[in-house]
Amino acid sequence: RGHAGAAARSSVLAALAQAAEQGAHTLVLAGPAPASLIADYARRHNLSLLALSQRGNRPRWLGASLQQQLAQRAPELNCLILAAGERRPAATAGWRWPRTGAGGGWWQTTLASLALTAAMLPLRGVLDAANLVMLYLLLVLLAAVRYGRAPAAWAAVLSVALFDFFFVAPHWSFAVSDIQYLITFAVMLTVGLVAGQLVASQRQSAAQARQREAHTRYLYEMARELGSALMPEQVGEITGRFLQASLNAQISLWLPDAEEQLEALPDTPLAVDAALVRWCFDHQQAAGQGTHTLPDAAQLYLPLQAPMRTRGVLVVAVPDVLALADPDNRRLCEAVAALAAQTLERLHYIEVAQQTLLSMESERLRHSLLAALSHDLRTPLTALSGNAETLLLALQRGGRAEQEQAALLLAQSQRITRLVTNLLEMARLQAGGVTLHQDWLPADEVIGTAIAALGNTLDAHPLQLDIDPACPMLYGDAILLERLLVNLLENAAKYSPAGSSIRISAAAEDGRILLRVADRGPGLPPGDPARLFDAFSRGERESAIAGVGLGLAICRTIADVHGARLSAANRHDGGACFTLSLPLRPPPALDFDLENLP
């Protein structure tokens, strides 16, 4: 109010800013009754001690002080009075305009109208009738501000009747001697009703604005606390606390587990319909109280819809069944559900990021260990394989009976050497240290080199070669493509019974070059064939067949660096088939003229 009011407001805001800098939580409550606002806020937030400041003595005619009003409205609160001057004894509360009680303002308005009439009777011959009408209109406005439109309308009707009875001739009668007073009565009643309606509407709008401001404050405080939540249980506790403070509501938070089964968080005070929770989660629609789906249900069921997916279901129960019919309260519940859903999604991706980081670190350590171990094993294995081969040749020349054991020693040392080579190759590929030396390669040459590299590993399996004469040349790294085919052929020989054939084919189809290795073994195990290409993954965990599950993982990595696709499938007539699909590139341009050749 004027400069003094602005200065006082600036002083208060400065004090609040200073308190916030010291770590206090500050806010501004808006409303016509400070004592009611403070008492309601304290109850909603379970506060027990209030510190109040008072300067100087308050005159009796101004009514009860703030601490006296708080003592009347919230006697359970402890008030600490911080006074700048001398402490004075509690003053007896002076007369105040009565608030709406059980009578709803009707009897207060009636008494006020009678009191005003009694006060104006001595002025009946002094003041003009128009001035008396203005006083009645003022009473109607005050009734509208204080009690609403219905008591204001009653005040308008009663004022017209009292004005006619006491101030319009003939006095002490409702008869009217001058017809002009009928116009006065009509205008007076109309102005009173319209003014009361307008004031009551503004009063209702102000109440709605205060409610929306309170909802906004709740959402802000909730969002700030949810920002530090690290567990779903904390999300449930914060959500329940703020809905309890704003709507006096109880909640139940249902979240899906790894198998998409919904379970309520612990310490849930509500008994809810689990089937309706499931329906709300599956259909991503609200259900229950105030909705089109089972509107007679005792609670409101809201899906926790996050940007990526539905994170659960929030069940809200309020004591007043009409509270959720208020659009503002319904929007508040939906906003709270949205905040909870976003927080749960944030927690999910934090967990995913942590698991990914842990997996990457574990993978890095594992490959580092494998690389170091493989490198240290390569030298003694090379010596072992060389000495075993020399021993076998010497025993064969002498016709010794021990040559069979020497051949077995050589075969096993070569198998271990290939295993160590795979470990080193996998570590090098995973480290990203692969430099492709690509060139144009005939398909039959790559296949022949891979068969030769396996030596006698394929002796027990007849090979069927089906290489299309029109198959284009491959463009890739010869060593890596040979390693890929070696692993596929070794895998086929390992899992196929002795005597069964292995078929190798190469042809161009649909703009790609397809290399296939098919066997007559037991086929692929049930499940997703793609998991066979994961490192250290095997078709059967417990198997008598030696191996650690790196061969196919290396094949897939080699295919990836070539921009190719590697897939596996069961054959219709038994066995498995692995297909390498390489991109078909334009053939290289010849640097000589074929027409000039002799």
The phi and psi torsions of 424 (rounded to 5 degrees) equal -65, -40
Q: Which amino acid is at 497?
A: P
- pLDDT of the residue at 62: 55
**Helix extents (H) in 88-128:** 106-120
- Number of Cβ within 10 Å of residue 364's Cβ equals 12
Distance separating alpha carbons of residues 222 and 343, to the nearest angstrom? 11
Q: What is the pLDDT along the chain (598 residues), one digit of tens a residue?
A: 334 455 665 677 667 767 766 767 777 676 667 778 788 888 777 777 788 776 556 665 556 777 778 788 778 877 877 765 544 444 433 334 444 444 467 888 899 889 988 888 888 777 777 788 888 888 888 887 777 777 878 888 888 888 878 887 777 777 766 677 677 777 777 776 787 677 767 777 777 788 788 888 888 989 999 998 989 999 999 999 989 888 888 999 999 988 889 999 887 667 888 899 999 999 999 998 878 888 888 889 999 999 889 999 999 999 887 788 778 888 899 999 999 999 999 999 999 999 888 888 877 776 677 667 666 777 787 888 888 888 888 888 888 878 888 888 887 887 777 777 766 766 666 666 567 788 999 999 999 999 998 878 888 899 999 999 999 999 998 988 998 999 899 989 988 898 899 999 999 998 899 999 999 988 888 877 888 888 766 555 444 455 556 788 888 888 988 899 999 999 988 899 999 999 988 877 656 555 555 5
pTM for this predicted structure:
0.50
Contact 559, 566 (CB under 8 A): yes
Q: What is the DSSP letter of 100?
A: P
Contact 262, 312 (CB under 8 A): yes
Distance separating alpha carbons of residues 84 and 78, to the nearest angstrom? 20
Would you state the structure tokens that stand for residue 54, as one six-digit string?
């008072």
Would you state the structure tokens that stand for residue 568, as one six-digit string?
């596996």
Distance separating alpha carbons of residues 71 and 77, to the nearest angstrom? 8
- pLDDT of the residue at 362: 77
Rg (CA), the chain: 45
Distance separating alpha carbons of residues 440 and 450, to the nearest angstrom? 17
Pairing relationship of beta strands 438-441 and 300-305 according to DSSP bridges: unpaired
Distance separating alpha carbons of residues 407 and 413, to the nearest angstrom? 10
The packing angle between helices 551-561 and 403-430, to 10°, is 40
Q: Which helix (H) or strand (E) holds 221?
A: helix 180-226
Q: Which amino acid is at 222?
A: M
Distance separating alpha carbons of residues 144 and 154, to the nearest angstrom? 10
> Exposed/middle/buried for 25, CB within 10 Å: 0-12, 13-18, 19+?
exposed
At CB < 8 A and 24+ separation, what contacts does 51-57 make?
A: 51/79, 51/80, 51/82, 52/79, 52/80, 52/81, 52/82, 53/81, 53/82, 53/83, 53/84, 54/81, 54/82, 54/83, 54/84, 55/83, 55/84, 55/85, 56/84, 56/85, 57/85, 57/88
Q: Which amino acid is at 240?
A: G
- Look up tokens 């076998």; give the residue: 392
- pLDDT of the residue at 92: 39
- pLDDT of the residue at 128: 79
Q: Which residues make Cβ contacts (< 8 Å) with residue 323, sequence separation at least 6?
A: 247, 249, 329
Q: Which amino acid is at 14?
A: A
Beta bridge partners of 576: 570
> Cis omega before residue 319 (within 30°)?
no
Domains of the chain from N-terminus onward:
23-96 (no CATH), 106-213 (no CATH), 355-427 (1.10.287), 436-583 (3.30.565.10)
- Please compute, for residue 214, the number of CA atoms within 13 A of its CA located in the half-sphere on the CB side: 21
Contact 484, 555 (CB under 8 A): yes
- Look up tokens 């939540």; give the residue: 229
Of 26, 24, 34, whose CA–CA distance to 54 is shortest? 34
- Look up tokens 């596929």; give the residue: 488
